[in-house]
Amino acid sequence: MPENDPGTSEPRQAAARQGRHALGEPVPAVSAGGNGKEPAPPRNPFLLWLKEIATVVVIAVVLSFLIKTFLFRAFYIPSESMVSTLDVNDRIFVNLLVPEPFALERGDVVVFRDTKGWLPPAPQKVDGPFTWVEDGLTFVGLLPDNSEQHLVKRVIGLPGDHVACCNADGKITVNGAPLDEKYVNPAEVPLVRDFDVVVPAGKVWVMGDNRNHSADSRAHMDSNGGFVDLADVEGKAAVIAWPLNRWAGLDNYPDVFKSVPPEG
């Protein structure tokens, strides 16, 4: 019969067995985490850095694509038709939420697709070794669209407006109200080009700020009456983004049109 320790109810033999590591028996190694596993080897900091950079690039590309598709899109200005508001080689951001869901207003600068043949056919693009890179960056919105199959002009007449040139003072009128057009290029006096139109539903009448150097609605009255379909409008030009020394928001000059009565 095993002898009991006077100070405990447990058999002495069991106590000795529990303390056998004290007699020199090796103790199994235990990791810092306490789970008995070997510590993980250190990770390569260069690979971690590459992973972070790749993650940032992917996120930037996805965000750029989403912004370009639903909010803003970049365009390149190739001509002088909007001087001095826009200069040749300016890069602009266009608000894609106009004309839908937000409506156009008189005075808005808009970019629209050339579906009526206002521009000469684009020359065949010569592909270079990095053309695919440029096309890809343009597609996701990291480069401005410089296809030149878009035009940029200022909206003068909305659907239903009666737009005419010119009154006795040489001013354009909208619904009978003369316009004091502060946005017109001050370097030249605009030449008078007579017209008298009523803008149909679903269309707008557009003109360039550089009046003597703009092939706008006045120059294309033999094609669709010179009107631009609202469905062709990509959006409202909001900001000059490049070059940095020309960074500025684009004004639609509400004071110019505040005295225009409702159409009809």
Instruction: List C-alpha distances in Å: 219 to 117, 118, 191, 195, 227.
Output: 12, 9, 13, 10, 11
Active site residues: 81, 153
User: In the structure encoding, which two tokens stand for residue 221, read together?
Assistant: 């009255």
Q: Helices 45-70 & 131-140, crossing angle to 10 degrees?
A: 60
AA letter at 9: S
How far is the C-alpha of 76 from the C-alpha of 151, rounded, in Å?
10
Selection from 105, 96, 139 nearest residue 233 by Cα: 96
Do 149 and 140 contact (CB within 8 A), yes or no?
Answer: no
User: In the structure encoding, which two tokens stand for residue 66, read together?
Assistant: 């989403």
CB-count burial class (<10 Å; 0-12, 13-18, 19+) for 30: exposed
A 10 A CB-CB count for 196 gives 9
